[in-house]
Amino acid sequence: MSRFGRATADLSPQAMTLAWLAGLLEAEGSFLRPAPSAPNAPILVCRMTDADVIQRTADCFGVRPLAIDKGAYRTEYSARVKGAPAVRLMRELRPYMGARRRAAIDRALAAFTAPARRLNFDLSQQIRASRAEGATISSLARAHAVSRPTIRAVLRTEIYPVPAPRPWLRPLPPLGADRDRLHASIAELYWLAGWLEGEGSFLAPPPSDPRRPRIAGEARDRDVVDEVARLFGVSPTRRRDPRGIDKGWAVLYEALVRGGRAASFMRALAPVLGTRRRAQIERALEPRKSTPPLDSMQQQGGELASTWSVSSRCSESRTPGWPR
C-alpha cells in the first residue's frame, strides 16, 4: 500500500505538511466520535510528551496546545481540534491512513451532517465570475435560490471572501542532504518522518560494529509497518510478548534497517524531526563519524603489512647473522 507514491513528488512544499501530519497521526492520533448531543463535532486529538512536536501539530490544527500535568511522570502535551475544521482535516487525511485509522475516521464522521447552506466559497467564486461575464443579479439569485441582497453581498465579498482555512498547509523544514540517496519520494519521506516521530527509535550501533546505526519502528498495524518496511527496503518481522498471550496483548510488527541505509535515513529526516529525536540521531551517528570505513581500514592494514614486509627484508639484508 503506497500512500504517497512518486507521482505526488511535484506537490507543493505546503502539501508536504499533510504527509507529515498523516504519519504522525497514524502513530499518535485519535479520531473520536462526537457526543450524541453534538453529532457535528467529531474530535481529532494528538497527545505526546514532546512539546515542540505538539506545538507544530497545534499550528497545523489552528489551535493552541494544552499541557497536561501527569504528576510524577513527564508532562504530556495535547493538540485538539473539533467540529468543521476536524471534519475537513479528517477527510483530507483519510486516503493516506492505515485500515484501522480509516475505520476510526468513518466512525467519527458517520453522524456528521453538513449545514444546509446554499452557498460556499466555490459557488461564490462562480457567481463573481458569471457577473463579470455579464450575468444579471436577478438571474444569479434565481440560479442559486438566494435573494438579490445575498448576491450583492457575495459580489462585494462581504460573505465568503476567502476559502475555509486549512492551517495544515504550511511549509516544513526541508529534508536533509541524503534525501537523493533514498528510493522514496519527498512526500513518502515526510510521511515516514511523522510516523517515526511517534513510533520510531534511532539506535546507536553496538560497540562491536560502530558503523551500523539502526532505525526501528513497531506498531500493531501490519499494513502500516509493511509500508515502513517497503520504504526501508527490508522485510517486516512479527513479535509477540509471551506474557501477553493470556492477557490479550496485540501482536506487534517491526521494521528494522541498519548500517549505511539507516544513516542516510537519519541524515535525511533529522531536519524535520523534533528535538528529542534529533538528539537520538546525533548519538546514533557519533560512533560512525569517529570510525573509518572498513575498506579504508583494510587498505591501511594492507599498506602497513606491505611496509612491514619491505622493512623486514631490508633489515634482513643489512643485518649480519640475522636468523633465517
Summarize pLDDT for 11-27 with one digit per residue, the tens.
Answer: 677 678 999 999 999 99
Please give the average per-residue pLDDT across 254-262, as a whole number: 95
Assigned fold of 14-109: Endonuclease I-creI (3.10.28)
Tell me, rounded to whole angstroms, the distance of Cα 104 from its chain centroid: 19
Please give the average per-residue pLDDT across 267-287, as a whole number: 95
Which of 113-117, 227-231, 290-294, 298-302 has the least mean pLDDT?
298-302
pLDDT of residue 167: 85
Summarize pLDDT for 185-233 with one digit per residue, the tens.
Answer: 899 999 999 999 999 999 999 888 888 999 999 999 999 999 999 999 9
Which residues fall within 8 angstroms of residue 151, CB to CB, at 6 or more apart? 127, 137, 140, 141, 144
Residue ranges per structural domain of the chain = 14-109, 121-155, 177-296
pLDDT of residue 119: 85
What DSSP assignment string belongs to 173-239? PPP-GGGGGSSS-HHHHHHHHHHHHHHEEEEPPPTTSTT--EEEEEES-HHHHHHHHHHHTS--EEE
Summarize pLDDT for 47-104 with one digit per residue, the tens.
Answer: 999 999 999 999 999 999 999 988 888 999 999 999 999 999 999 999 999 999 999 9
pLDDT of residue 294: 53
How confident is residue 245, by pLDDT bands cut at 50, 70 and 90? low
Summarize pLDDT for 132-156 with one digit per residue, the tens.
Answer: 999 999 999 999 889 999 999 999 9
As a whole number of angstroms, the distance between CA 283 and CA 210 comes to: 11
By percentage, how much of the chain surpasses pLDDT 70? 83
pLDDT for residue 129 is more than 60: yes
pLDDT for residue 289 is more than 90: no
pLDDT for residue 242 is more than 80: no
pLDDT for residue 262 is more than 70: yes
By percentage, how much of the chain surpasses pLDDT 90? 61
pTM: 0.79
Averaged confidence pLDDT in the chain? 85
Q: Do 14-109 and 177-296 have matching folds? A: yes
CATH class of the domain at 177-296: alpha beta
pLDDT for residue 172 is more than 60: yes
> Cα–Cα distances in Å, from 62 out to 169, 178, 263?
11, 32, 34
